[in-house]
Amino acid sequence: MARTTRPLPAERQLVERVLDAWDRHEALELRGGGTKHFYGEAPRGAVLDLRPLRGVIDYEPTELVVTARCGEPLAEIEALLAEQDQHLAFEPPHFAAGGTVGGMVAAGLAGPARAAAGALRDHVLGVRLLNGRGEILRFGGQVMKNVAGYDVSRLLAGSLGILGIMLEVSLKVLPLPAAVETLGFELPEAEALQRLRAWASRPLPVNASAWHEGRLWVRLAGAQAAVRTAAAALGGQRLDRDEAALWWAAVRDHRHPFFRLDDEALAAGTSLWRLSLPPAAPVLELPGAGFIEWGGAQRWLRSSAPGEAVRQAAQRAGGHATWVRGLARDVGVFTPPSAVTMQLHRRLKDAFDPHRLFNPGRLFPDL
C-alpha cells in the first residue's frame, strides 16, 4: 500500500473532527449509506457521514485486488469488477441502495456464497485507518500473502466501527464463475440438512444453499464441466438462471418475504434472529419458522420465543444467536462473550480509541 500518501483535504478535516470530538468528549456515529443502520445495538453520537470519501484508488484485475475509499458505493465497485468478469466472492448483502465499502467491511456480513467463498474478513487485504488518537495508520497491504506485524486489517472486519474510521480498504477479488446453475429439491428440514452435509464432504462445486418450507435450493458455480457433471449427479429440478439470480439476491438482501416482519407479525411479538451454528448441528427445537443457509451454518428464525430461550438453544448447539429485527427484546443484540474475551474487547477498544469516540455501545452496550 502507498507508503507516502499525504492525507486528502477531506481526510485532514476528519482528523480535525476526531480531535475536536476528543476535546469535547463527544461520541461519533460513523455512517456510510445507512443501509445497515438496523444492525447492532442502537447507534449513538453525532453522525459522521463518510460518503464524501469516495473513489477507487487502484484496481488492477491481474492482481485480483481493488482498493477503494470507505465512502465508495458498493454497487459501483461491483459494477467496476463486473466489467472485468470479477466480483467480491463473499456476495455482500446490500439490504438497500446506497451502501458503501466502508459500511460493508465494518458490518462484516456475507451473503449466500459464504460457505464456499469464505467470510468478508477472508477477503480483506489491507486498510488505512484513522484511530481515536487522530493518527492515520496502514495495516496489511495489497498483496495476497502478508504476515508483517499483527493482522489489524482483518480485526476491523465486522468491528462495527468501534476501533476507528477505515479510510481505505483493499479487498481480494476473484473471477466470476464460468457457469452457474440452481437446482431445487422437495425435502423436509432434517433430510435437507443431512443432504447438505453429505454434499459438503464431496468435491462438488456447491456455492450456496438455502432451505425454507420444505424446499431446498442449491447453487452450483465453477467451471462449465464441473457444474454440468455436478448438476447431473445431484438431480433435482433445474431453475431458470435469471429467475434464480433474482431469488438469491432477494435472500441476500432480505427482500424475500420470510425476512420481512409486517405489522401483524410485529404486534404478535415476532423477532427475526440469526443463528450461527456448527453446520452439522441438528434441527433446533424452537417455536417459529426457519430459513437455513450456508449448508446449515446460518439459520434464520422468525419467532416470538423469549430471547434467552433462543440464545440458550444456539449456545447449546455450539453457536450463537443475534437479534436482527422486531419491536422489543429482552436481551442484547449480540451474545455477550466470556469474561476473559470481554476484557480483551475493552482493552483493544482502549488501544485504538482510548476516549471512546467511535460508535459507543454499537457492538456491546458497555463498549
Partner 1 sequence: MKQDPERRASGDRATLRREVLAALRAVVPAHILLSRDEQAVPFECDGLTAYRTVPLVVALPEDEAQVAAILRCCHALRVPVVARGAGTGLSGGALPHERGVTLSLARLDRVLGVDPLACTAAVQCGVRNIAISEAAAPHGLYYAPDPSSQIACTIGGNVAENAGGVHCLKYGLTLHNVLRVRGYTVEGEAIEFGAEAYDVPGLDLLALLVGSEGMLAVATEITVRLVPKPQAARCILASFADVEAAGAAVAEVIAAGIVPAGLEMMDKPMTAAVEDFVQAGYDLDAAAILLCESDGTPEEVDEEIGRMVAVLEAAGATRFEISRSEAERLKFWSGRKNAFPASGRISPDYLCMDSTIPRRRIAEMLRCIADMEARYGLRCCNVFHAGDGNLHPMILFDASDPGQLQRAERFGADILETSVMLGGTITGEHGVGVEKLNSMCVQFSLEEREQMLRVKHAFDPGSLLNPGKVIPTLNRCAEYGRMTVRGGRLPHAELARF
Segment 296 to 355, residues that bind partner 1, using CB under 8 A: 297-298, 318-320, 322, 334-338, 340-342, 344-345, 347-348, 350-352
Q: Does 64 bind partner 1 (CB under 8 A)?
A: yes
Instruction: Kindly compute the dihedral angle of the four CA atoms of residues 88, 92, 98, 102, in this order, to the nearest 10 degrees.
Output: -80
Q: Which is nearer to partner 1, 260 or 316 (CB)?
A: 316
- Contact letters for partner 1, residues 214-253 (x by CB under 8 A): --------xxxxx-xxx-----------------------
Q: Which is nearer to partner 1, 190 or 225 (CB)?
A: 225
Among 60-68, 94-102, 182-190, 251-259, the segment contacting partner 1 (CB under 8 A)? 60-68
Q: How far is the CB of 138 from partner 1 (least distance, A)?
A: 6
Q: How far is the CB of 4 from partner 1 (least distance, A)?
A: 6
- State the amino acid at position 240 in one-letter form: D
Alpha-carbon span 108 to 203, nearest angstrom: 28
Q: Does 12 bind partner 1 (CB under 8 A)?
A: no
The answer to whether 313 and 331 have CB atoms below 8 angstroms apart is no
Element spanning 22, H or E: helix 9-24
Q: Does 178 bind partner 1 (CB under 8 A)?
A: yes
Q: Does 7 bind partner 1 (CB under 8 A)?
A: no
- State the amino acid at position 5 in one-letter form: T
The gap between the terminal CA atoms of the chain, to the nearest Å, is: 31
Q: Applying CB under 8 A, which of residues 22, 211, 291, 294 lies at the interface with partner 1? A: 294
Q: Which is nearer to partner 1, 98 or 325 (CB)?
A: 325
Q: Which is nearer to partner 1, 73 or 177 (CB)?
A: 177
Q: Which of residues 132-151 bind partner 1 (CB under 8 A)?
A: 135-139, 141-151
Q: Does 80 bind partner 1 (CB under 8 A)?
A: no
Q: Does 79 bind partner 1 (CB under 8 A)?
A: no
Alpha-carbon span 85 to 61, nearest angstrom: 9
Helix (H/G/I), strand (E/B), else coil: 57: strand
Task: Write b or e for each residue in 307-330: b if 16 or more Cβ atoms lie within 10 A of its Cβ, otherwise e.
Answer: beebbebbeebebbbbbbbbeeee
Cell of 65: 485486488
Q: How far is the CB of 137 from partner 1 (least distance, A)?
A: 5
Q: How far is the CB of 15 from partner 1 (least distance, A)?
A: 12
CA distances from 127 to 37, 94, 165 (A): 22, 21, 10
Cell of 103: 459500511
Radius of gyration of the CA atoms of the chain, in A:
21
Q: How far is the CB of 85 from partner 1 (least distance, A)?
A: 6
Q: Does 286 bind partner 1 (CB under 8 A)?
A: no
**DSSP-assigned beta bridge partners for residue 354:** none
